[in-house]
């Protein structure tokens, strides 16, 4: 069967809203799933989340936000990551919503509110949201490969010299879903180190 797909020279294409909806409802690709874009709740404006034309905006969980900077000296080694270099950030709230406050030029790790379960022929790339980008907040562009499942750890940077808010329970990054030929070896097959990530920040691993 795989040889047949290879012979068809199928090109990878980004999934449209109706395709994402079908995979979410039939294969639980996104949970919880919202089948439209939400930009207002109870009269309060939100950073949008939910299904868009060719993607899905996931939310930042209020559970956890860990900022680099607890330790000011030494180095950060991705091969031997020390969680003690991070400090938890308090979840604040006012009339605009719940939020974490990133320090000037700060960098943090958060976790997505939604859980993903990717089919074998679908891979995901996370990209930033315009409203955040224009405020100096960038979300790292990272992939989630075919067969991956779990809660995404989100890497978020404040590129300004000001304190900057990131809102919990609201859209933080947009996911683009790409479908191509079924791969020979999926992330699940090779037992990738970030498979089945729990509902919390997962640190660098080798």
Q: Residues with catalytic annotation?
A: 155
Please state, in angstroms and rounded to a whole number, the distance separating the CA atoms of residues 166 and 47: 10
State the Cα angle at 203 between 197 and 206, rounded to 5°.
95
Cα dihedral 193/79/105/97 (nearest 10) = 30
Backbone angles phi, psi at 8, to 5 degrees: -85, -10
Residue in this structure with the two tokens 């009339």, named with its chain if needed: 95
Q: What count of other Cβ atoms lies within 10 Å of the Cβ of residue 60?
A: 27
Please state, in angstroms and rounded to a whole number, the distance separating the CA atoms of residues 184 and 52: 30
Largest CA distance in the chain: 57
Alpha helices in 16-80 (DSSP H): 17-27
The β-bridge partners of 125 are: 143, 176
């Amino acid at each position: 069967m795989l040889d047949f797909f290879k012979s068809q020279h199928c090109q990878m294409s980004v999934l449209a809203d109706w395709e994402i909806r079908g995979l979410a409802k039939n294969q639980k690709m996104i949970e919880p799933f919202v089948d439209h874009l939400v930009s207002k709740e109870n009269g309060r404006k939100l950073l949008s989340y939910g299904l868009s034309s060719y993607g899905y905006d996931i939310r930042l969980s209020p559970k956890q936000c860990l900022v680099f900077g607890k330790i000011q000296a030494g180095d950060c080694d991705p091969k031997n990551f020390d969680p003690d270099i991070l400090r938890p950030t308090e979840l604040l709230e006012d009339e605009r919503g719940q939020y974490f406050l990133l320090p000037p030029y700060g960098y943090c790790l958060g976790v997505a509110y939604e859980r993903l379960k990717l089919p074998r022929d679908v891979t995901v790339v996370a990209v930033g949201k315009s409203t955040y980008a224009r405020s100096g907040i960038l979300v790292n562009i990272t992939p989630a490969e075919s067969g991956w499942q779990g809660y995404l750890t989100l890497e978020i940077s404040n590129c300004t010299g000001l304190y900057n808010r990131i809102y919990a329970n609201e859209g933080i990054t947009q996911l683009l879903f790409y479908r191509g030929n079924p791969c020979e070896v999926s992330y699940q097959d090779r037992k990738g180190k970030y498979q089945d990530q729990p509902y919390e920040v997962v640190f660098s691993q080798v």
